[in-house]
A and B are shown apart, each in its own frame.
Chain A
Amino acid sequence: MLPLRSASLDSAAGYPYFRAMTDHEHHHDHHHDHSELSETDLRVRALESILIEKGYLDPAALDVLIETYESKVGPRNGARVVARAWTDPAFRDRLLKDATPAIGELGYAGRQGEHIVTVENTPELHNMVVCTLCSCYPWPVLGLPPVWYKSAPYRAKAVKDPRGVLRDFGFELPATTKIRVWDSTAEVRYFVLPMRPEGTEGWSEDELAELVTRDSMIGTGLPKRPDQVQRSEGTS
């Protein structure tokens, strides 16, 4: 269940179901010895308790799910996939041919990962992923999308001026590198296979995974360079 929070600045303005209720808030006395929930929090709890009562939700299962997405699934999964592709050419081929089962080989599967397509960066081509419609994203390999991925400015600018977006993220591609923007949908989620950084010959899969950033798998960043990480000797 939701942990207790103090009142936040949430407002329900513009939201159809509870607009009529906002007056009620002003009837509170202003003693602050009782608890207060934000308008949004109230709506979430209302919906959640109805769904539990009607048997649509099992509170324990819900908590497990939240825990999964909050901590277990995340860009580290994707980093493992990239590192494997960098070290195992046969895996790389499978990943480019049919990403979902290849990713499944590492044990990553599940919601929103049913139809993942891998797009490979090369010196000639840089790939970048956006969802112009809403925020479709390959959850099993990248977790939940970052805030900026869901923002209108990113969605619009990625299509109109991808090179400018990359500049916003702090890097410039050579003018000879083409940029291709992929629009993820509810059916197809794109996953970028970045280029293996130079100077990493002989690195283990674990070490390489440390170089893979979330943004490099969306195409709004590059993997770290070897001099940007402390290479831990002896990891396998």
Chain B
Amino acid sequence: MSADRDAALEATRALPGIPVDADGPVFREPWEAHAFAMAVTLHARGLFSWPEWAAALAEEISHAQAAGDADCGDTYYRHWLATLERLVAEKGVTNSATLARYREAWDHAADRTPHGKPIELRPEDFAG
């Protein structure tokens, strides 16, 4: 890390609203990498084109901004995920009810999994 890079980071820290990542991990959390990879894979399968994706993502971001999201980059992958959920529903791959059912099943799976053990989805997690 060079001295002027440090200075640059210092400066951007001082400026409210421009978060910097100091060349750290590209993804802040594993789920971001998964959300990213899912979109890339679905695109490769032809579910949507990149211009279509970019338009949907931009729309998601502007909705979030209108709803008060400061959009400082840290919520970016949430917008990405919301875009994914919307597009897969629009394309008929799944729907919001199914997404909600699976989300709850994962919640049950987490509840019954002792801390520190890998969480796996089992049929009984869907029982409610």
Q: Which chain A residues have a beta carbon within 8 Å of chain B's beta carbons?
A: 1-6, 8, 14-18, 20-21, 24, 28, 32-38, 40-51, 54, 56-57, 61-62, 65-66, 69-70, 74, 111-112, 133-136, 143-144, 146-154, 157, 167-171, 185-187, 213-215, 221, 224, 228-229
Bound CA span A153–B19, Å = 9
B103 and chain A: residue at smallest CB distance: A46
What are 21 A-B contacts defined by CB distance under 8 Å?
Answer: A2-B31, A2-B34, A34-B111, A35-B113, A38-B31, A41-B31, A43-B99, A44-B31, A44-B38, A47-B38, A50-B102, A65-B41, A69-B37, A70-B25, A74-B26, A147-B28, A154-B18, A170-B9, A171-B8, A187-B51, A229-B2
Q: Which chain B residues have a beta carbon within 8 Å of chain A's beta carbons?
A: 2-5, 7-12, 15-21, 23, 25-31, 33-38, 40-45, 47, 50-51, 53-55, 57-58, 61, 64-65, 67, 69-74, 76, 78, 81-82, 84-85, 88, 93-94, 96, 98-100, 102-107, 110-119, 121
Known contacts A4-B118, A144-B36; is A46 also within 8 Å of B58 by CB?
no
| Further pairs besides A2-B31, A70-B25: 18, Cβ < 8 Å | A4-B119, A16-B82, A16-B96, A17-B96, A34-B112, A35-B119, A37-B107, A37-B119, A44-B38, A44-B81, A51-B94, A112-B50, A144-B27, A147-B20, A168-B18, A170-B10, A224-B5, A228-B3
Q: Can you list the 9 inter-chain pairs with the closest CB atoms, starting with the nearest?
A: A170-B8, A46-B102, A153-B17, A151-B73, A186-B54, A147-B73, A152-B71, A46-B103, A44-B31
Contact yes or no, A213 B94, CB < 8 A: no
Known contacts A46-B99, A46-B102, A186-B53; is A5 also within 8 Å of B29 by CB?
yes
Contact partner, A54, options B9, B71, B94, B111, Cβ 8 Å: B94
Contact yes or no, B26 A56, CB < 8 A: no
Known contacts A215-B8, A224-B2; is A32 also within 8 Å of B99 by CB?
no
Chain A residues near B12 (CB-CB < 8 A) = 148, 168-170
Closest Cβ–Cβ distance, residue A142 to chain B (whole Å): 10
Chain B residues near A74 (CB-CB < 8 A) = 26
Contact yes or no, A21 B103, CB < 8 A: yes
Closest Cβ–Cβ distance, residue A79 to chain B (whole Å): 12
Bound CA span A49–B98, Å = 11
Contact yes or no, A44 B53, CB < 8 A: no
Closest Cβ–Cβ distance, residue A3 to chain B (whole Å): 6
